[in-house]
């Protein structure tokens, strides 16, 4: 019997809806694996599920951090593992839903990310280099020595890009190699991992664009303005999320609203490509490709099929 089930995949592929449908079918509860949905006050731009979308299914690891906070993978893994244990203790089934691969890995294998060495002085120097080069160029530099980790990170994810280079600078080993060695230990949980995608890539991109534009209609600009007014600085990790940095630039007068919208659409499509690259390198992933944009009947049918597949495979 599997300890838990993971539903992952690129943005805008229906993970939230499938997670809820499956949870209602098998008596499950959802644990979010989204590195930005952890932050309070960041709802619209992170596509955080609403109460209506949750449809009575308990969701964990939402709104657990202040947007001024630096939240680590290790902290997520500890908190999410506590959720898993609580859910299982109540004879419910944990369903991890989200597209942040590092969070999912950290939870499943119980890796202690803090075990890798750290040096504050060297980190400050690397941060200065990141600022001087810019995110894209710094990520390209990392890709030359650690293409796997570079592919998993957004150019604006300064904290994790800097951390990856810090480990390499201190040890001569990439953080990917460090994490691979951690995998030699038995994983903490046995998991069935399902990844969602569309058979036609253009369908995915059109869906991403529509969702990004809908976020602006739903109040993304007002949400970002409220965060800035509350003292969340533009350099905060939370403000590096797709949508938030672009809108902050617009509010600062750096671009027009339409330019910000276009930038969010482009960044979201690029992020989806990185998510797919990360997933394709994993042999344990079971792919589920939508032939069209799924409606309610498609979601329910997929949930029924997945429930049968997972529990018969166990």
Last-in-domain residue among 182, 202, 223 = 182
pLDDT, tens digit (0-9, with 9 covering 90-100), for 96-140: 999 999 899 889 987 554 456 778 888 889 999 999 999 999 999
Residue 148 domain boundaries: 116-182
CATH code: domain of residue 124: 1.10.20.140
SS (H, E, C) the chain: CCCEEEEECCCCCCHHHHHHHHHHHHCEEEEECCCCCCECCCCCCCCCCCHHHHCCCCEECCCCECCCCCCCHHHHHHHHHHHHHHHHHCCCEEEEECCCHHHHHHHHHCCCHHHCCCCHHHHHHHHHHHHHHCHHHHHHHHHHHCHHHHHHCCCCCHHHHHHHHHHHHHHCCCHHHHHHHHCCCCCCCCEEEEEEEECCHHHHHHHHHHHHHHHHHCCHHHHHHHHHHCCCCCCCHHHHCCCHHHHHHHHCCCCCHHHHHHHHHHHHHHHHHHHHHHHHCCCCEEEEEECCCCCHHHHHHHHHHHHHHHHHHC
Do 216 and 101 fall into the same domain? yes
Do 69 and 58 fall into the same domain? yes
The total of structural domains in the chain comes to 2
- Whole-number pLDDT of residue 85: 97
Do 101 and 134 fall into the same domain? no
Do 126 and 274 fall into the same domain? no
Do 141 and 263 fall into the same domain? no
Do 163 and 197 fall into the same domain? no
Higher local confidence (pLDDT), 159 or 314: 159
- Whole-number pLDDT of residue 283: 86
pLDDT, tens digit (0-9, with 9 covering 90-100), for 70-82: 888 889 999 999 9
pTM for this predicted structure: 0.81
pLDDT, tens digit (0-9, with 9 covering 90-100), for 172-199: 889 988 877 766 667 889 999 999 999 9
- Whole-number pLDDT of residue 112: 54
Do 231 and 261 fall into the same domain? yes
CATH code: domain of residue 246: 3.40.50.300
- Whole-number pLDDT of residue 116: 67
């Amino acid at each position: 019997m599997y300890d838990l089930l993971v539903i992952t995949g690129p943005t805008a592929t229906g993970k939230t809806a499938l997670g809820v449908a499956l949870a209602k079918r098998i008596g499950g509860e959802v644990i979010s694996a989204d590195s930005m949905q952890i932050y309070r006050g960041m709802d619209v731009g992170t596509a955080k599920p609403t109460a209506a979308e949750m449809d009575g299914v308990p969701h964990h690891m939402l709104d657990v951090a202040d947007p001024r906070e630096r939240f680590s993978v290790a902290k997520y893994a500890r908190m999410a593992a506590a959720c898993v244990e609580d859910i299982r203790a109540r004879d419910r089934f944990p369903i991890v839903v989200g597209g942040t691969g590092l969070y999912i890995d950290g939870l499943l294998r119980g890796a202690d990310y803090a075990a890798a060495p750290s040096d504050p002085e060297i980190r400050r120097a690397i941060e200065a280099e990141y600022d001087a080069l810019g995110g894209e160029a710094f990520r390209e530099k990392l890709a030359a020595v650690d293409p796997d980790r570079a592919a998993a990170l957004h150019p604006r994810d300064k904290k994790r890009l800097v951390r990856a280079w810090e480990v390499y600078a201190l040890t001569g080993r990439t953080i990917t190699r460090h994490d691979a060695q951690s995998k030699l230990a038995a994983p903490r949980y046995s998991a069935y991992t399902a990844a969602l995608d569309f058979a036609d890539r253009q369908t995915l991109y059109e869906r991403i664009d529509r969702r990004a534009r809908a976020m602006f209609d739903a109040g993304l600009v007002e949400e970002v303005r409220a965060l800035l007014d509350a003292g969340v600085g533009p350099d905060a990790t939370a403000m590096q999320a797709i949508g938030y940095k672009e809108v902050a630039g617009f509010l600062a007068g750096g671009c027009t609203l339409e330019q910000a919208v276009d930038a969010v659409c482009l960044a979201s499509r690029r992020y989806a490509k990185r998510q797919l690259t990360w997933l394709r390198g994993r042999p344990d992933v079971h792919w589920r490709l939508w032939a069209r944009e799924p409606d309610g009947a498609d979601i329910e049918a997929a949930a029924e099929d997945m429930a049968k597949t997972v529990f018969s495979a166990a």
